[in-house]
């Protein structure tokens, strides 16, 4: 079924996977993952350690084949990585270079491998802020400097798709902001930037689209806002008179609203505020507060990756409803 | 060509220059000192073991005496070559660089051919250093041992060319063995240990147990190749078997490199 989508709508997707399965012996690293990532923008790839992120990246880059299923990158199947290798730059796991060579020579060897002009090396060194350090041996580089060098190597082919595994690992706060800005700039130029990271705040600040994997299973794929809305949209309400608290809880529950524990926190998005207000008004209660609670990606992620079922959004909402019922 | 230039850029570092070429030069000096000292003392040349072939006084005084050190140290040069081919191959895995290389050039056979091409160029350089240092060390060593060098200028060019060519050929096969071991183990330490252990221990044991089988083993074959043939194996036979080892090694190396997934 997805094959037809791939054939007809490849221009809209940077990456597609269809039932992607990868097993290492008895271990299932990726379990039938089907996902379509848009072209352009910053895509966050999230998941706990050992969730299958790196396996997915390796399959996309043609380093390992899937056990079954198929995937495309920039419209080309991953079985033919040579067709898209020139348009893809990658930082895979830790930055990998020849320690005894300078940063410039390391980049020069990769530029020569890709058939790029020597001048491109100086350009990417400038972009990642390694000017003045390019002739130093990589052996003497800090982790942060190696990260910058890894990003420089990924930028060498001026790629349409950039895949970066933990790009801000080892960077100081100023460096993180700098790289985040760089990623946004690259995406604004029309590139697709896929960022795998454990820094959830960083992902939230930089990404437009999100893919969450746990134990090889796809937990979520969609725009960042959609996830936060679905999993975390809550509104805190308060009556004008404290004596009306219990009456308000009963009225809202009767109107079908899910309420958290002993508080007056109702599950709903900002768009539900008017309906809530109306329900309270119909019960003869005036509200003094109606405040949407912004849940962070970290809250959602931790809740999602701790959920025992495959559908964490449903699981978390179900848990809240159950708690409200018990209360 | 891109792959070759890229690999040459990575190999152009101090560790390779000093390690590979430096060791070749050191062993060239060392072997000359040893063979002339042993010959001058009139003691019997030590025997046994693949590659251990000390020349007689007659050989040292002949026209080929000036390059006798190159032939005598063939196995040493071979082990050095094996080690650096293995290091250049396995370090791509140990550093993780192989992921970047394979992502940039998915036609892995081109990556491997580029690496082999670059290592061949370095082997040309290393063999040349060994021969040149040998030439520089041979004369003072011979004079110190009071061995006649009257015939050394006869056929000088052809003797040097023969020594260079046979030493280079043997070294290349050693190198391919190192490459294959490194691709199999993805570890330079394991590849070098297995290579050296084979030559120094296993092959010696096999040869002791069965001298017929020993003639076909890599160490003995490549020593015969470097020395232009031995009593046990003719030069033509050594060339043939050496070519078979090289061809089989290249095929195994290509199949492993292309088909094996790049995981850790």
Domain residue spans in chain A? 2-222, 228-326
Between CA A76 and CA A13 the distance in angstroms is: 11
Between CA A191 and CA A160 the distance in angstroms is: 5
Longest dimension (CA), chain A: 77
Asked which of A153-157, B162-166, B198-202 is least confident by mean pLDDT, the reply is: B198-202
- Residue ranges of B 101-120 with Cβ closer than 8 A to chain A: 101-107
Interchain pair A113, B263: CB under 8 A: no
CB < 8 Å to A93, chain B = 96, 99
Contact indicator for B68, B60 with CB cutoff of 8 Å = yes
Pick the residue from chain B with its C-alpha nearest to A81: B106
User: Taking the domain A2-222, which CATH number applies?
Assistant: 3.40.50.300
Residue B109: pLDDT band with limits 50, 70, 90 = very high
Pick the residue from chain A with its C-alpha nearest to B261: A64
pLDDT in tens, B87-96: 999 999 888 8
**Alpha-carbon distance B27 to nearest alpha carbon in chain A (angstroms):** 25
Query: Is residue A117 within 8 angstroms of chain B, CB to CB?
Result: no
Sheet strand arrangement including A192-196: A88-91, A161-165, A192-196, A41-46, A209-214, A217-223
* Contacts with A54 (C-beta within 8 Å, 6 or more apart), sequence order: A92, A93, A165, A196
pLDDT at B234 over 90: no
Pick the residue from chain B with its C-alpha nearest to A105: B9
Asked which of A8-12, A112-116, B158-162, B211-215 is least confident by mean pLDDT, the reply is: A8-12
Between CA B69 and CA B35 the distance in angstroms is: 7
Contact indicator for B170, B78 with CB cutoff of 8 Å = yes
What is the token pair recorded at B99?
């992921």
Contact indicator for A92, A58 with CB cutoff of 8 Å = yes
* Overall average pLDDT of the A38-67 stretch: 88
Of A54-58, A317-321, B201-205, give the range with the top mean pLDDT.
A54-58
Rounded to 10°, the helix A312-326/A224-232 angle is 20
* Overall average pLDDT of the B17-40 stretch: 86
Rounded to 10°, the helix B218-226/B156-185 angle is 160
Between CA A10 and CA A3 the distance in angstroms is: 10
Query: Is residue A90 within 8 angstroms of chain B, CB to CB?
Result: yes
Quote the Cα angle for B138-B143-B145, to 5°: 95
Interchain pair A61, B103: CB under 8 A: yes
CB < 8 Å to A79, chain B = none
Interchain pair A96, B96: CB under 8 A: yes
Backbone angles phi, psi at A264, to 5 degrees: -110, 55
Best mutation site among B10, B87, B91 for testing chain A: the one with the most A CBs within 10 Å?
Answer: B10
Give DSSP secondary structure letters for A140-193: G--HHHHHHHHHHHHHTT--SEEEEESTTTT--HHHHHHHHHHHHHHHHTT-EE
Pick the residue from chain A with its C-alpha nearest to B90: A98
Interchain pair B106, A82: CB under 8 A: yes
Query: Tokens 């730059």 map to which residue?
Result: A89
Give the model's pLDDT for residue B47.
55
* Overall average pLDDT of the A131-155 stretch: 88
pLDDT in tens, A175-202: 788 888 888 888 888 889 999 887 777 7
Contact indicator for A42, A206 with CB cutoff of 8 Å = yes
Query: Is residue A110 within 8 angstroms of chain B, CB to CB?
Result: yes
Q: Is A217 helix (H, G, I), strand (E, B) or coil?
A: strand
Annotated domain spans of chain B: 2-259
DSSP structural state of residue A295:
P
Residue A229: pLDDT band with limits 50, 70, 90 = low
Contact indicator for A41, A208 with CB cutoff of 8 Å = yes
Between CA B135 and CA B130 the distance in angstroms is: 9
Query: Tokens 């008004």 map to which residue?
Result: A281
Longest dimension (CA), chain B: 61
Give the model's pLDDT for residue A309.
45
pLDDT at B56 over 90: no
Which H or E run contains A194?
strand A192-196
pLDDT at A85 over 80: yes
Between CA B155 and CA B152 the distance in angstroms is: 8
DSSP structural state of residue A102:
B
DSSP structural state of residue B217:
S
Contact indicator for B119, B85 with CB cutoff of 8 Å = yes
**Interface pTM (ipTM) of the complex?**
0.82
CB < 8 Å to A65, chain B = 261
Instruction: Give chain B's radius of gyration (CA, Å).
Output: 19
Quote the mean pLDDT of chain B. Answer: 85
Give the model's pLDDT for residue B264.
53
pLDDT in tens, A117-135: 999 999 999 988 888 888 8
Residue B86: pLDDT band with limits 50, 70, 90 = very high
CB < 8 Å to B9, chain A = 105, 108-109, 112
Give the model's pLDDT for residue A313.
41
Contact indicator for A114, A184 with CB cutoff of 8 Å = no
Q: What is the pTM of this model?
A: 0.78
**Alpha-carbon distance B80 to nearest alpha carbon in chain A (angstroms):** 20
**Alpha-carbon distance B184 to nearest alpha carbon in chain A (angstroms):** 17
């Amino acid at each position: 079924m997805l094959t037809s989508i791939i054939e007809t709508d490849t221009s809209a997707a940077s990456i597609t996977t269809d039932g992607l399965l990868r097993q290492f012996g008895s271990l299932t690293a990726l379990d039938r993952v089907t996902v379509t990532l848009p072209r352009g923008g910053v895509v966050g790839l999230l998941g706990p350690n050992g969730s299958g992120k790196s396996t997915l990246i390796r399959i996309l880059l043609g380093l390992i084949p899937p056990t079954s299923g198929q995937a495309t990158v920039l419209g080309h199947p991953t079985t033919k990585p040579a067709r898209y290798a020139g348009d893809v730059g990658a930082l895979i796991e830790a930055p990998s270079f020849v320690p005894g060579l300078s940063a410039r020579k390391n980049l020069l060897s990769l530029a020569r491998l890709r058939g790029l002009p020597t001048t491109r090396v100086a350009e990417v060194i400038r972009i990642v802020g390694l000017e003045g350090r390019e002739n130093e041996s990589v052996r003497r580089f800090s982790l942060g400097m190696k990260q910058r060098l890894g990003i420089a190597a990924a930028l060498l082919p001026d790629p349409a798709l950039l895949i970066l595994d933990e790009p801000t690992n080892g960077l100081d706060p100023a460096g993180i902001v700098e790289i985040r800005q760089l990623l946004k700039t690259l995406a604004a130029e029309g590139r697709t930037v896929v960022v795998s990271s454990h820094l959830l705040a960083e992902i939230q600040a930089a990404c437009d689209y999100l893919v969450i994997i746990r134990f090889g299973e796809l937990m979520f794929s969609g725009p960042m806002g959609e996830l936060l809305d679905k999993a975390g949209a809550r509104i805190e309400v308060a009556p004008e008179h404290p004596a009306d608290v219990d009456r308000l809880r009963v009225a809202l529950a009767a109107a079908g609203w899910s309420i958290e524990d002993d508080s007056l926190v109702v599950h709903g998005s900002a768009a539900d505020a008017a309906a809530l207000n109306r329900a309270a008004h119909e019960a003869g209660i005036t509200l003094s507060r109606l405040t949407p609670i912004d849940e962070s990606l970290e809250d959602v992620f931790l809740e999602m990756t701790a959920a025992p079922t495959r559908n964490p959004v449903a699981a978390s909402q179900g848990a809240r409803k159950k708690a409200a019922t018990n209360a | 060509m891109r792959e070759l230039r890229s690999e040459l850029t990575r190999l152009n570092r101090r560790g390779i220059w000093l390690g590979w070429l430096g060791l070749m030069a050191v062993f060239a000096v060392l072997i000359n000192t040893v063979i002339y000292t042993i010959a001058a003392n009139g003691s019997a040349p030590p025997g046994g073991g693949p590659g251990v072939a000390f020349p007689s006084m007659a050989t040292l005084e002949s026209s080929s005496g000036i390059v006798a050190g190159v032939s005598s140290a063939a196995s040493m040069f071979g082990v050095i070559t094996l080690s650096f081919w293995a290091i250049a191959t396995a370090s791509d895995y140990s550093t993780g660089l192989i992921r970047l290389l394979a992502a940039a050039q998915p036609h892995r056979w081109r990556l491997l051919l580029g690496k082999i091409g670059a290592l061949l160029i370095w082997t040309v350089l290393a063999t040349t250093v060994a021969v040149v240092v040998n030439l520089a060390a041979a004369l003072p060593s011979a004079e110190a041992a009071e061995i006649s060098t009257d015939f050394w200028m006869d056929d000088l060019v052809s003797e040097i060319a023969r020594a260079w060519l046979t030493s280079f050929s043997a070294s290349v096969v050693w190198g391919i063995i190192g490459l294959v071991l490194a691709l199999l183990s993805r570890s330079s330490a394991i590849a070098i240990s297995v290579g050296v252990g084979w030559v120094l221990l296993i092959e010696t044991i096999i040869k002791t147990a069965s001298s017929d089988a020993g003639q076909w083993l890599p160490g003995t074959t490549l020593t015969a190749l470097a020395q232009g043939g031995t009593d046990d194996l003719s030069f033509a036979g050594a060339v043939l078997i050496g070519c078979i080892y090289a061809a089989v090694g290249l095929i195994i190396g290509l199949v492993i490199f292309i088909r094996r997934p790049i995981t850790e």
